[in-house]
Amino acid sequence: MGSLTGGAAAPLVQHNTTPLLEMKGVTKRFGGIAALRDVDFSILAGEIHGLVGENGAGKSTLMKIIAGVYAGFDGQMLMGGVPVHFRSAADALTAGIGMVHQELSVVPDLSVAENVFLGSQPVMAGALVDWRGMNRQARTQIASLGLDIDPTTRMGSLPVGLQQLVELSRVLFSGARIIILDEPTSALSPPEVERLFTVLRRLRAEGRSIIFISHFLDDVLAISDRVTVFRNGAKVITEATSALTKDSIISHMIGRGSIDMHMGESAELTGDDSRTVVMSVDTVSDGNTLRDVSLNLRQGEITGVYGFMGCGQIELSRALFGKIGLKSGRLLLDGKPVRFNSTAQARAAGIAYVPESRRMMLFRTEPVYKNISISILDRISRIFLKPSAERQIADSHVKDLQIRPQTTDTILGNLSGGNQQKVALAKWLTHLPKVLILSEPTRGMDVGAKEDVIRIVKSLAKRGVAVLVLSTEPETILTLADRVTVMKRGHVAREFTQGRIEKADLLAAA
């Protein structure tokens, strides 16, 4: 009792080199385009295997094949030397492969225990849910990860880091011996990352294997035994972590001399209080998270707002774009008080917004040009659409921002994440907004696309736009911002206007 699952009965130490899972010559095409070309990949029992590469390099495709999401591909997949073929994610899970996605699939309104047992609640007398047994088992289950959480707590009341661990325990509970973690640290604060790593090391000691996909190379180096690097749909290298450095991984990833390896470790702030204030946030509260937040956005300046997850930045950005209402305080645009009852009003006033999740502002099944023109349609046409004008405008953005593929009729969902982010930006570039609000503008993006976005945002500021960048990644803030506001639990904790600041300063203030 107290053991995790059937899967935990596996021998604890397996120092042999027979792979638990092996992929041989895997190729996957979408339409005519190869997303993966002749990839060999293997996982040993009891190893943490880091997987890195720019967006669109093929790591997600490979993982979706392993996790049974894509059933059709060329090549072989072997488990314990035996060929296997998964038709669904359920097949893969039965075979002992589970995946925790970047976007958590938890039910916030259910209890922690219900989330652990989601879909497989223990029953008694054939029909009734065995609540006591479920809570007891969930507690054991979670405790085995070294956590002390009351299983009757509402899931949504836990911090994201703990929710993620609960989801991880669900995957473990269902018997997974190979666990795929997609960007597990992107939403976590440093202590949460450390707790996750402790859990992962514990699982490794039990003989389970973990595939750790991340853009955070420091995290990958800290936790992995081996690292595989992808580039352009092919595997570049698989190497023991001890033989790798951050620099060498980056050069494998981008295949060119790395320019900014230490980008975002520190920055020289150049805030200038003599610049005109475009938008002013005056002691704003939303009655929920935000408490008396004040800050000024100045013409031609990039204001960075840094803070951990849940510090209120998201709510701040939504309030400025008319998505959530204010309880108290006011907003001033060009010195005049404004009140936005809808996003349409905010947009009409000259405010542009790119939310943290691309899904929230893009239409996956529509072509690129419709995605770009949607926010300027009223300027192009009064009543009847002018598709040629739409395409022309979209085309100039596609060229300017180097969006690939360079056509305006591609269905958006077929673009890589970085290119989708550029489309999200392009929506607002036809007529320069007064204020541009960017929530997590570079999260989950590869190095190349990140540089492009940074360049675009800086050039917009140079052209006089007041830019607000909100992020939980200090690197993003330090790379972009002219001045920095640090938020903590819904209020402004500290402001940096000028002089040199380090990543450590931000972490210390938040």
Among 202, 364, 399, 431, binds other proteins (CB under 8 A): 364
Among 292, 366, 409, 502, binds other proteins (CB under 8 A): 366
Residue 470 engages other proteins in binding (rule: CB under 8 A) = no
For residues 23 and 42, what is the distance between their CA atoms, to the nearest angstrom? 6
Residue 365 engages other proteins in binding (rule: CB under 8 A) = yes
Residue 385 engages other proteins in binding (rule: CB under 8 A) = yes
Q: What is the H or E stretch that residue 39 is in? A: strand 33-44
Q: What crossing angle do the helices spanning 131-143 and 160-173 adopt, rounded to 10°?
A: 110
Query: In the range 282-341, which residues lie near other proteins by CB under 8 A?
Result: 321, 323
Query: In the range 204-243, which residues lie near other proteins by CB under 8 A?
Result: none
Query: From the CB of 419, what's the least distance to other proteins, in Å?
Result: 16
Among 90, 123, 243, 360, binds other proteins (CB under 8 A): 360
Point out which span in 43-51, 238-246, 270-278, 380-388 binds other proteins (CB under 8 A): 380-388
DSSP 411: B
Among 83, 85, 146, 508, binds other proteins (CB under 8 A): 85
For residues 85 and 76, what is the distance between their CA atoms, to the nearest angstrom? 8
- SS3 for 70-117 is CCCCEEEEEECCEECCCCCHHHHHHCCEEEECCCCCCCCCCEHHHHHC
Query: From the CB of 484, what's the least distance to other proteins, in Å?
Result: 25
Query: In the range 96-125, which residues lie near other proteins by CB under 8 A?
Result: none
Rounded to the nearest 5°, which phi and psi values hold at 61?
-60, -45
Number of residues that bind other proteins (CB under 8 A): 38
Query: From the CB of 443, what's the least distance to other proteins, in Å?
Result: 16
Instruction: Confirm if 278 and 437 have CB atoms less than 8 A apart.
Output: no
Query: From the CB of 32, what's the least distance to other proteins, in Å?
Result: 6
Among 1, 336, 383, 388, binds other proteins (CB under 8 A): 383
Query: From the CB of 348, what's the least distance to other proteins, in Å?
Result: 7
Among 78, 171, 309, 374, binds other proteins (CB under 8 A): 374
CB of 153 or CB of 381, closer to other proteins:
381
What mask of x and - would describe binding to other proteins in positions 406 to 425, judged by CB under 8 A? Answer: -----x-x------------
Per-residue tokens: 495 = 């402001």
Query: From the CB of 383, what's the least distance to other proteins, in Å?
Result: 6
Strands 336-338, 491-496: parallel, antiparallel or unpaired by DSSP?
unpaired
Among 97, 278, 290, 346, binds other proteins (CB under 8 A): 346
Instruction: Confirm if 427 and 343 have CB atoms less than 8 A apart.
Output: no
Query: From the CB of 353, what's the least distance to other proteins, in Å?
Result: 6
Residue 362 engages other proteins in binding (rule: CB under 8 A) = yes
Instruction: Confirm if 306 and 483 have CB atoms less than 8 A apart.
Output: no
Longest dimension (CA), the chain: 74
User: Could you tell me which residues come within 8 angstroms of residue 165 by beta carbon, excluding any fewer than 6 positions away?
Assistant: 142, 145, 147, 195, 196, 199
CB of 216 or CB of 353, closer to other proteins:
353
User: Could you tell me which residues come within 8 angstroms of residue 143 by beta carbon, excluding any fewer than 6 positions away?
Assistant: none
Point out which span in 118-126, 185-193, 197-205, 381-389 binds other proteins (CB under 8 A): 381-389
Q: Which of 54, 60, 15 is closest to 39 using CA atoms?
A: 60
In a 13 Å sphere around the CA of 395, the CA atoms on its Cβ side amount to 8
Residue 359 engages other proteins in binding (rule: CB under 8 A) = yes
CA separation, residue 431 to residues 52, 160, 318, 399, 426 (Å): 37, 37, 21, 17, 10
Instruction: Confirm if 461 and 300 have CB atoms less than 8 A apart.
Output: yes
CB of 330 or CB of 379, closer to other proteins:
379
CB of 359 or CB of 489, closer to other proteins:
359
For residues 57 and 52, what is the distance between their CA atoms, to the nearest angstrom? 9
Among 2, 11, 31, 119, binds other proteins (CB under 8 A): 31
Among 46, 58, 355, 474, binds other proteins (CB under 8 A): 355
CB of 164 or CB of 317, closer to other proteins:
317
Instruction: Confirm if 301 and 275 have CB atoms less than 8 A apart.
Output: yes
Residue 132 engages other proteins in binding (rule: CB under 8 A) = no
For residues 499 and 65, what is the distance between their CA atoms, to the nearest angstrom? 49
For residues 241 and 442, what is the distance between their CA atoms, to the nearest angstrom? 26
Given the rule CB under 8 A, which residues bind other proteins? 29-32, 72, 74, 85, 321, 323, 342-344, 346-348, 353, 355, 359-366, 370, 374-375, 377-378, 381-385, 411, 413, 427
